[in-house]
Amino acid sequence: MGGAAGLKKQFEAVLGSGALEWQARPAPELVPSGVPDVDRATGGLPRGCLTEIFGTASSGRTSLLVAILAEATAREEVCALVDAEDAFDPASAAAAGVRFDRLLWVRCGHSAEYALKAADLLIQGGGFGLVAMDLGDTPPEMARRISLASWFRLRRAVEHTPTVLLTVARRPNARTCATLTLQCARDGVAWTGMAQGRLLRGMSIHVSGTDDRFLSSVSSGQPQ
């Protein structure tokens, strides 16, 4: 017997029947993001997987990150924020409900490479319910220097762990290594007053999520 069938027969003779059968990966546990509309569209954030959030400045990506941190720390989970560009604002995060007694803030001195290494070490060390890497203020050309192989290593490192791995950037970088991708975009801005004295009242934010299970979009109204 030749060909693929014969080769399979030989392997099974050594490894046992069914050793080469493909098995689907079990569906990951999903946890709330802290934004009900996002959770209704996605089911939540998957543990043991990489989730990527991207969008331009003022798209709501930072507000979504802070909401996720607030929700995770409220669950008494230990979280880590890897801050590549020292962009994290503790005051606004505290106002949004982030508990700093459950948060490790890692400042990387404007280095995406250090941020990547720090995230890898945190995942390998274990014990975190959420590890978030904020590359939102990293120039896209610098973020693109992180190779796809590096993203693949991060994805493999977080597999079979209870950790939610999250990355935030201006543009998608992890691509196929991300189980869930959320794109943030600003739909509109509400102002009051005249041209010389206008006051910003709020924004309308569009969040669209896509993975191999769904394609949905939601709107939210209090971004940063």
What confidence tens digit (pLDDT) does each residue in 93-149 have? 999 999 999 999 999 999 999 999 999 999 999 999 999 999 999 999 999 999 999
Give the strand pairing for 79-83 and 103-107. Answer: parallel
Query: Which residue bears the tokens 């991060």?
Result: 154
| Lookup: tokens for 66 | 């802070």
Mean pLDDT of 8-23: 65
In sequence order, what are the beta bridge partners of 182? 53, 209
Measured on CA atoms in the order 72, 74, 75, 76, is the torsion positive or negative? Answer: positive
Domains and CATH numbers, the chain: 40-187+205-218 (3.40.50.300)
Classify residue 52 as exposed, middle or buried by CB count within 10 Å of its CB (0-12, 13-18, 19+): buried
Task: Tell which residue, 8, 53, 47, has the closest CA to residue 28.
Answer: 47
Mean pLDDT of 68-89: 97
CB atoms within 10 A of CB 172: 15
In sequence order, what are the beta bridge partners of 165? 50, 131
| Residue 53 contacts residue 166 (beta carbons within 8 Å) | yes
Query: What are the two backbone dihedrals, phi and then psi, of residue 169, each rounded to the nearest 5 degrees?
Result: -155, 175
What confidence tens digit (pLDDT) does each residue in 174-202 have? 989 999 999 988 776 566 676 666 665 55
pLDDT for 64 beyond 80:
yes
How open is the CA angle 174-177-181, to the nearest 5 degrees? 65
Q: How far is CA 148 from CA 115, 122, 211, in A?
A: 15, 19, 18
